[in-house]
C-alpha cells in the first residue's frame, strides 16, 4: 500500500442514532450521527414511521384532504347519472304500485 494516501481508520467510531441508540464500530470517521438504526427502523420494528425531512408527507396529506373536500362539494357526471337513475327507478316503482 502507498503511504499517506489512505484516510485514517478509527477502530472505535461511535455511532449515535436520533432515537438514542449508540454503538461502536470501525470507520474512517471518528463519530457518526444517523436518523435511523436497527432499533427504530420500520423494517426491523414492524411499526410504520414516516421519515419526513422536507415535510413531504404533511404536504401530501393536506393536499389529499383538500381534494376530498372539493370532491364532496362537486358532483361528477357519474354521481349525477346514478342519482338521476335512482330517482327514475323510484318514480317507476310508485307508478307500478
19 marked ligand binding residue: yes
37 marked ligand binding residue: yes
Domain coordinates in residue numbering, the chain? 10-96
Q: What pTM was estimated for this model as a whole? A: 0.45
Q: Edge-to-edge, what's the strand order for the sheet holding 10-17?
A: 22-27, 10-17, 31-34
C-alpha cell of residue 10: 478509527
CATH architecture of 10-96: Irregular (4.10)
Integer Cα distance of 32 and 68 in angstroms: 43
pLDDT tens by residue, the chain, 97 residues: 688 898 999 999 999 998 899 999 999 999 999 988 888 887 878 887 666 667 888 888 899 888 887 766 666 777 778 888 888 888 877 777 6
Integer Cα distance of 74 and 64 in angstroms: 15
Strand partners, 22: 16
Amino acid at each position: 500500500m502507498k503511504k499517506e494516501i489512505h484516510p485514517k481508520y478509527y477502530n472505535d467510531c461511535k455511532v449515535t442514532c436520533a432515537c438514542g441508540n449508540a454503538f461502536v464500530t470501525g470507520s474512517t470517521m471518528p463519530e457518526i450521527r444517523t436518523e435511523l438504526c436497527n432499533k427504530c427502523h420500520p423494517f426491523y420494528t414492524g411499526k410504520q414511521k414516516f421519515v419526513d425531512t422536507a415535510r413531504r408527507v404533511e404536504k401530501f396529506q393536506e393536499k389529499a384532504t383538500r381534494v376530498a373536500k372539493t370532491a364532496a362539494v362537486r358532483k361528477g357526471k357519474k354521481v349525477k347519472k346514478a342519482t338521476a337513475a335512482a330517482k327514475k327507478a323510484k318514480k317507476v316503482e310508485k307508478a307500478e304500485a
